[in-house]
Chains A and B, each alone.
Chain A
Amino acid sequence: MTRGDKILYIVCGLLFAAMALLPLFGASGFLLRTITLALMYAVMALAWNFIGGYTGYSAFGNVAFFGIGATVTGVMMTKMRWDFAPAVLLGGVICSLLSFLIGPALLRLRGHYFAVATLGIANAAREIVAGWDDVTGGGIGLNLPLNTDKDFYTFIYYIFLALTILSAVITYFISRNKLGFGWLAIRENEEGAKALGIDATLYKTLAWVLACFIVGITGGIYAYYNTAISPEAIFNPLYSTTPILITLLGGTGTVVGPILGAMILLPLSTWLLFNFPGIQPALLGIIIILTIIFLPRGLYEYLSGRRKLTLAALLKNPRDNQA
């Protein structure tokens, strides 16, 4: 670990500490919601990072499991009168089971084909939930019970904060463990990894199931937070794309990248919304384009000191990546 890494971990630790204390200092409901959503995306970014960052499989349809997690939670809480916690957990478990069943077959695909297959799964899941009126409420969706406790939103805030920290800690330990090294080996050269005796199918499937479990849990919590869920809302493709963007911005295959990415991109997008109403999407588009041209590996390598952030370094990326 470089000194830069240590600094970054301390920055993240301070950030988490500040967030943990924030509600105690009378933060407004809006500030809490903004950070809650940023944390929700951070969790999903950390989840995507397992499969997309460390293992190098370009999952592009994680919203499938967000939506399934939300739907399972919604159905259990409204139709079965389950409590929140078991309903969310069941959502996560069902997502893991589904991803475990399709994982080995799906993960034989690589690159674009894997991305497209996951996109297909996301769309198929949405259409099935929308068409299965009797169970999921179909296109109308479900209304979860409204929690009228005055601290409810703070409660959700802390859940997402805890989930972010937990996911980051899991990422940290896995990345220093045989599993993490296995993932990296697969990412760099899958045939080579197999030759080294790594059970690639098992390792990949673990990354995929872990990611899907976390995303499913996140979807379930979101359902309870938002109370009204319809297929159109919970299968919004933005729940697939935003976590990936966050990870790309922060740095793929790193512990702090997804967290920093989320804490930069989402507040920035909210800030643009207030200051440039109407053209916010265009500005966000330009920022995305510039980030990818000049920082294709994200901010992490500069922030950790692995690479010097100089003008020459920034200009080198587009030169190296051009046709």
Chain B
Amino acid sequence: MNTPLRLIGLTTIAAILAACGGAAAPAPTAAPAASTEKQPAQPAAASGACTISFGAAVSFTGSTAAEGKYTKDGYDIAKDKINEKGGIKVGDKMCKLDIKYYDDASSPDQTAQLVEKLITEDKVNFILGPYGSSSSDTAAAIVEKYKIPMIEANGAAESIFARGFKFTFAVLSPAGNYLRGILDLVKVKDPSAKKVAVVAETDKFALEVAAGAAKYAKEQGFEVVYNDKYPAKATDISSNLTVIKGLNPDVILGAGHIQDAILTIKQGKELGVNAKAWGFSVGPTAPEFRKSLGKDADYVLGAAQWTEELKLKGDANDPFSTPQDFAKAVRAKFPQGGYETTIPYQVAESAAAVFAFQRAIEKAGSLDAQKVRDAIAALDFDSFYGKVKFDERGINTFKPMAVQQNATDGGNYTVGPAESASKPFEYPAPAWGSRK
């Protein structure tokens, strides 16, 4: 009862409470997760030198840790490129750019908490988006609240933008557009292909992809013979595939994440489900897809927000001017980054988000949040990533999407849109039994 130890216990609690208050209070002892530079200076300062601070809560751990890394690499590439050239021009000053990162552990709750920290304590000027639709959704509500502009590059669900928010913009094409390119390709190559099966994971992003694909297929004269879903994070979808097999579709489209794409191909092969074309919203463009499936990855098509083979041309102010230049820069900066064969589009779209900010800030000539927000809304430029322009909701619906195919020679090539194709579209995919 009177033991000093008990007092120590109580003081420890008090100390922890104080510490957490302290960690949160004005002078954070908190080390930023991976910021390359020290504490960002306040943007004012004399003599023309200044720093613009960006904040990003990205997943370094948790279920989307791999994509989180691509996102951060993309932001860093853009930051280095801009700083190399002296920074962002604000009025008559050149301002260096700094990005403060936190790990949101793939949890939308944590994203909200960290974005609020970035805005209210780290006092960053602008927010770069997190990875994933759910996290982007919670982050959007926070930036709207504080009226700080956010450009996100990795949340494609249109429901984020159906809420009338004014401060969130997405440089990427919305979920509903993902699988259109694949249907376009098939339609041109084989007008006799009619039957389409769509199978989706029960997930915000995937369901929007599936709805968009089914709608577009009907518009293009396809017959949607199957459109159903399975529980999120499934490890067995044999029931869906058994039904699909009986319908003999020409095209099988999968809406989900890379795990879903791999599972669909593995179980499809086991069950002898055949289609002339297999296409997925996410997966086939990532290097892990080929690594996971080996030869079974052949012929599989994947939707891509961007590929390095696209014939795109940036305008005079574009830092990279072509996708190929960007790819070169990524490989030079991250020689061990796993980018030898393919550069996942997440890297490019994330970099594009930073460049979009640069354009808007330079045009606004100020760091004022409202002015920059209005400048972002009015952006319209061509870059190595494609056109960046936002519709009234804040989504970049003006950029086309690409299609990549895992070819039989083991490479991954852009096959659509036709003018950017680096290799002919290999079609039809032979039945599993007749492959070597």
Contacts and interface: CB of A to CB of B under 8 A. Distances in A.
B49 to A, nearest CB: 27
Interface in B205-244: 206-208, 229, 231-232
Contacts of B23: 267, 270-271, 274
Nearest to B202: A139
A280 B33 CA distance: 11
A11 interface: yes
Q: Which label, helix, strand, loop or mixed, suits the secondary structure of the A interface?
A: helix
B116 A146 contact: no
Nearest to B140: A228
Contacts of B120: 28-30
Nearest to A15: B17
Contacts of B20: 34, 267-268, 270-271
A31 B21 contact: yes
B307 interface: no
B204 to A, nearest CB: 5
B303 interface: no
A280 B134 contact: no
Contacts of A281: 61, 105
Nearest to A149: B145
Interface string B7-34: 0111001001101110111101111011
Given A37-B113, A140-B159, A277-B103, A302 B9 contact: yes
Contact of B108 (A4, A233, A273): A233
A138 interface: yes
A264 interface: yes
Contacts of B119: 29-30
A140 B10 contact: no
A202 to B, nearest CB: 37
A141 B204 contact: yes
B6 A130 contact: no
Interface bracket on A: 35 or more
Nearest to A239: B109
Contact of A228 (B1, B9, B13, B138): B138
Given A139-B229, A281-B105, A302-B6, A30 B208 contact: no
A267 B117 contact: no
B144 A228 contact: no
B102 interface: yes
Interface string B153-184: 00001011011010000000000000000000
A4 B1 contact: yes
B232 A130 contact: yes
A130 B231 contact: yes
B210 to A, nearest CB: 10
Nearest to A4: B1
A139 B17 contact: no
A277 B1 contact: no
Between B23, B25, B30, the greatest number of chain A beta carbons within 10 A of the residue's beta carbon is seen for B23
Question: How many B residues are at the interface, by size bracket?
Answer: 35 or more
Q: Which of A33, A260, A305 is the most central at the interface, judged by chain B CB atoms within 10 Å of its CB?
A: A33
Contacts of A232: 134, 203-204, 232
A259 B92 CA distance: 54
A176 interface: no
B373 to A, nearest CB: 15
Nearest to A282: B61
Contacts of A233: 108-109, 134
B146 interface: yes
A143 interface: yes
Nearest to B24: A31
Nearest to B229: A139
A140 B60 contact: no
A197 interface: no
A299 interface: yes
Contact of A274 (B3, B102, B204): B102
Contacts of B231: 127, 130
Interface in A43-95: none
Contact of B159 (A127, A143, A271): A143
A27 to B, nearest CB: 8
Nearest to B101: A277
A288 interface: no
Given A29-B116, A305-B6, A152 B105 contact: no
Given A226-B112, A302-B9, A309 B3 contact: yes
B110 interface: yes
Nearest to B2: A305
B121 interface: yes
Given A31-B25, A140-B207, A3 B116 contact: no
Interface of B: 1, 3, 5-6, 8-10, 13, 16-17, 19-21, 23-26, 28-31, 33-34, 60-61, 102-103, 105, 107-110, 112-113, 116-117, 119-121, 134, 137-138, 141, 144-146, 157, 159-160, 162-163, 165, 201-204, 206-208, 229, 231-232
Q: Which 8 A-B pairs have the closest CB atoms?
A: A267-B20, A274-B30, A29-B120, A139-B202, A30-B117, A277-B33, A228-B137, A28-B120
29 contacts: A2-B1, A28-B24, A30-B113, A31-B25, A34-B20, A34-B113, A37-B113, A127-B231, A139-B203, A141-B159, A141-B204, A143-B137, A143-B162, A143-B163, A146-B163, A148-B144, A226-B108, A232-B203, A232-B232, A260-B13, A267-B16, A267-B19, A267-B23, A273-B105, A274-B31, A280-B103, A303-B13, A308-B3, A310-B5
